[in-house]
Chains A and B, each alone.
Chain A
Amino acid sequence: MIYLDNASTTLTKPPEVAEAVTFALKNFGNPSRGFSEPSLLASREIYNTRAEVAGLIGADDPLSVAFTSSATESLNLVIGGLIKQGDVVATTVWEHNSVLRPLYLSGCDLYFIDPHNPDFKVGTKFLVCTHGSNLTGDIVDAVSLHQNCQAKGITMILDIAQTFGTIPVSMDMADIFCFTGHKGLFGPQGTGGIITCGNFDFDIVKTGGAGVNTFATYQTKMMPDFFEVGTPNSHGIYGLQKGVQFVNRIGVDKIHQHETALAQMFYNGIQHLEQIQFYGDMSASDRLPIISLNISNLTSTDLAERLWEGYGIVTRAGGHCAPLLHKQLDTIDRGMVRFSFSYFNTLDEVVRTVDAIKEILKLSE
């Protein structure tokens, strides 16, 4: 099998990730709910994971990192907790449904900007946008966008599901970050989180046991407890810690360099083929390791099926939960096939995928 669906989930993880999850399953008690060694072991490792994540993004305080089950949950909590009906909110057509649907649900006054040339309406309170498109691999200049927001008093919420661990992400890129653990951070599914830069008055959208203030009728509003009601996924979080440690050890720049080289090699191998249409800015100086395309006489699902059935190549066909960008690119009916590369993919896999596409083209003529 050649796994090229890493923008969905990285399948190959550093071995210490699974080892950590197994260790945690056997040794962790309930974190924050006791002082026995098993409980404290879990609590301490959750804290250590916060510190690793904070280190990766350059946050001073590990407690500015709260864990959730996914970037989607993070975005729901942040958008649901901050954005009120009627608030003027900017976003982009690049967004995943995990951004769009919570925004629609909020009842805000939503409008769309070009992330490369933003034109903010007067009265805008929030910008919620992705750092990198899960569909095309195009990247937003988040530092510049954030500076623009700061000058206008706009709170910027950045979806870093596709970028954290894959390209450099830093605290000067937004006010609030929503991340996932199972993609570029090589953690288990069911992990993700929120990183805040400053204090925000979130409305309570999730409440329950938090290990403190048992007899109070309200939920504490402090980070990170505010977002972590109920028993956290300490097993997964410990696995995530090992994934983030791996990223910190190898270095995001080196990971990005390797993944970009693979994606570029793949693109170079097929770009001359007239039957292929590529999507996104392929001339950009920096991109995510994502190549999305269509072949002239095939739908995306046809091509993905042939790649899997005939060659064992895993890709992602269809809409990629990015409805507005598909609409803009006129690919609602046929979708696209997305090839997304990881640090653990190899040059040989790229060569075999290029060969497979050429063979499919010949057979479908």
Chain B
Amino acid sequence: MPVANPHNTFAPLAELTDEQIVLAARAAGEPDWLIERRIAAWRHFATGVPPIWKRTDLTTFKAEGIVAPAAAQNTAIQWDASLAEQGVIFTTLAAALRSHPDLVKQYLGSAIDPLTHMFTALHAALWQDGVFLYVPKNVAVELPLHAIFTLAAESHAIFPHNLVIVERGANVTFIEEYSSPNINGQALAVPATEIFVGDGAAVRFATTQTWGQGVYHIAAQRVRVGRDGSAELIAANLGGKLQHAEIEVTLEGNGAHVDWVAVTFANDSQSLLTAPLVRHIGTNTESHMNFKTVVDETGYSTFDGMVKIERSAQGTNSRLEEHALHLSPKARSDSIPGLQIDANDVKAGHASTSGQIDEEQLFYMLSRGIKRDEAIHMIVTGFFEPVVERIPLEELRTRLSEAIESKI
């Protein structure tokens, strides 16, 4: 785990220039193709206009004073190094640029267009942190591989890029954890994750976001699944001041499959948005989504989901469920499920509920001697439990349960 000088940062965004980015990249020995990409992305950011997002309000966010790291410094990696004997690579993306330049060049930025919006461009210009995970053909990795990202203080930023390549017939569990203490003022996290699931491969991918107060989390994730491949996505969105996560799973190969669950808990004045998109391209592809949301106090959460079934995707089976629980009349949750079907042999289902805690459940628990507050705790944690129990690492499950408990 390389830890650079913690003061090795760029100038604040308002004063940053493309020369400074080029200098830093050259000093790090980065290849020309990457430097060119960084500059193109930076120019897009510097000359572009902020995206207009109806349900993500960035008017209070001050980008000018944000200071980006000039080297990877907030990536921590946990794994069993003996896996290297099987050809598994798990290292920082910065290190992989030197050790496996061709693989990185082939995949980096191929699933996420850096010019999607201002923040993806900023990410592409400035990413330093992040991991590179490569699992060779037919290798099964049992223990989860875990990357942890932190933010230290006000005005700091992190732009981790995670690149995960899982070859044909391989399987792996990858966890990315974003976590920090509360931050006075504002800080920025703009992570991007690209995951390539080979034919017949299986990837379990967990993302947990327990940032402290003050963090703006603007994330992009893309998962591409090959023939008979399967992806399991488990997400917990709990922290930060604001989240805007655009996540796309593309079922490219015939028989590809995704099982996707998520929990979101927005309280205080948090605004947490998740925009999941499943694209069915291969025949006989299958998607199952189950998103659970709790809002309390003046928290605001948005589920802006879309299932697209393309003309080629005959035999698609898709099921989307979303459930929201309101603990306060001032809290708000928006649900915008979308379904676009261009094939004719398709099964697509959708179920949605939204409401307060069931008084009958509360009465039942009270009648057993359980106090009202504790009953509400149990109902809320129980609401999340079927998702949390799927987090593939016990210590992380415990941290999440504690984070949830502290918010009720």
Whether chains A and B associate is: no
Name B residues whose Cβ lies closer than 8 Å to a Cβ of A: none
Name A residues whose Cβ lies closer than 8 Å to a Cβ of B: none
